Amino acid sequence: MKVSIIGGGGLVGSCAGFALQCGGVVREIALLDLNANLAAGQALDIMHGGPSVADQRISSGGYEHIPTSDIICITAGLRRKPDESRLDLINRNTDLFVGILDEVKKAGPKSSAIVLVVSNPVDILTFVAAKKLGLPATQVLGLGTQLDTIRFCSLIAEQLGTAPTQTHGLILGEHGDSMIPVWSSATVGSLSLDKYPGWNSMLAEKIFARTKQSGAECLSKKGGAGFAVGIAIRDVIHAIALDQQRILPVSTVQDGACYGIRDVAISVPTVVGRAGAVQRIEIELWPKELQGLKSSAAAIKPTLDAVLKRIGN
């Protein structure tokens, strides 16, 4: 399987390439970037590690890679400024993103290609991609709250001293200010989180607050997140490549079948496999969680409508 990463010269794209190399699942990784020299350097650096990791082909270039790609991952975008919300980014990122989609469409992707949108604001841009590319909506996914979810679980594990791989929880909704934590299904091992020794509501509030600010925290401390985003991207790509049928909180265009939400791209529990978003699962939520999810969808809609008007759709 071949994965092309648009924006592969940047922090997020190169971290995704490295995470995919370490995973050893996909056969070919192509890094595409407007800065061709930077992409070539990143590809060279990753390739050098190949003998100790996996038998893969690592390359760089431009849109000539698109027709032979099974997964097209779009990470390119303008960096978020300190104290700038992801939705504020839309005014600076839309034109860039639409230009990328035009080039992808012109290059001629496979009819079976899966597009994974990572660029922010990811929910808005996932909807735009689904509308512009002409692919089935199930083949256009956004990274959504997968990154927020693994951040959330890592912070719970850190606070409780539990094994991160046995700490499970979900963040749903917008990848941004209106995201919601799903405490109702959070567990450590098979034990409900609210029954775990030392757990309390004050700790829950602290963890969720830090989860929401994790992107800004990384931005202020190191100039932007990279490693965990790469891992989150790998989670989704491996689920596709291996046809894992894994339930992940990715962003897809909603049609009303899940929680009654429609005409917006947002993260709900989604079965991800080789065909993309295979199925959306309406898990049971506490009433306040369900209301929060619907409010999150409503919060995105005005910005989405403004964007669609701006790009002439």
pLDDT for the residue 80: 67
Best CA proximity match to 76, nearest among 163, 1, 5: 5
Q: Residue 17 and residue 29: Cα distance in Å, rounded?
A: 7
Mean pLDDT of 279-305: 96
Condensed to tens digits (0 to 9), the pLDDT of residues 216-243 reads 999 899 989 999 999 999 999 999 999 9
Best CA proximity match to 178, nearest among 87, 304, 64: 87
Question: pTM value?
Answer: 0.96
Q: Which of 142, 164, 196 is the last residue of a domain?
A: 142
Q: Residue 1 and residue 160: Cα distance in Å, rounded?
A: 39
Task: Count how many domains the chain has.
Answer: 2
Q: Residue 78 and residue 154: Cα distance in Å, rounded?
A: 27
Query: Is the pLDDT confidence value at 313 over 90?
Result: no
Positions marked catalytic: 175
Using only C-alpha atoms, what is the Rg of the chain?
Answer: 19
Pair 38, 91 in one domain: yes
Q: Which of 111, 142, 173 is the last residue of a domain?
A: 142
Provide, rounded to the nearest whole percent, the portion of the chain with pLDDT above 90. 90
Mean pLDDT of 28-39: 97
Pair 74, 176 in one domain: no
Pair 193, 233 in one domain: yes
Q: What is the CATH number of the domain that holds 253?
A: 3.90.110.10
Query: Is the pLDDT confidence value at 77 over 90?
Result: no
Mean pLDDT estimate for the chain: 95
Provide, rounded to the nearest whole percent, the portion of the chain with pLDDT above 70. 98
Q: Which of 126, 142, 158 is the last residue of a domain?
A: 142
Query: Is the pLDDT confidence value at 154 over 80?
Result: yes
Pair 214, 94 in one domain: no
Compute the C-alpha angle 40/226/153, nearest 5°.
150
Pair 108, 178 in one domain: no
Pair 115, 103 in one domain: yes
Pair 261, 278 in one domain: yes
Terminal alpha carbon distance of the chain: 33
pLDDT for the residue 284: 96
Task: Write out the residue range of the structural domain in which residue 13 sits.
Answer: 2-142
The residues, ordered by sequence, that sit 6+ positions from 167 with a Cβ below 8 Å of its Cβ are 153, 154, 156, 157, 160, 187, 188
Pair 97, 150 in one domain: no
Q: Are 6 and 34 in contact (CB under 8 A)?
A: no
Pair 123, 37 in one domain: yes
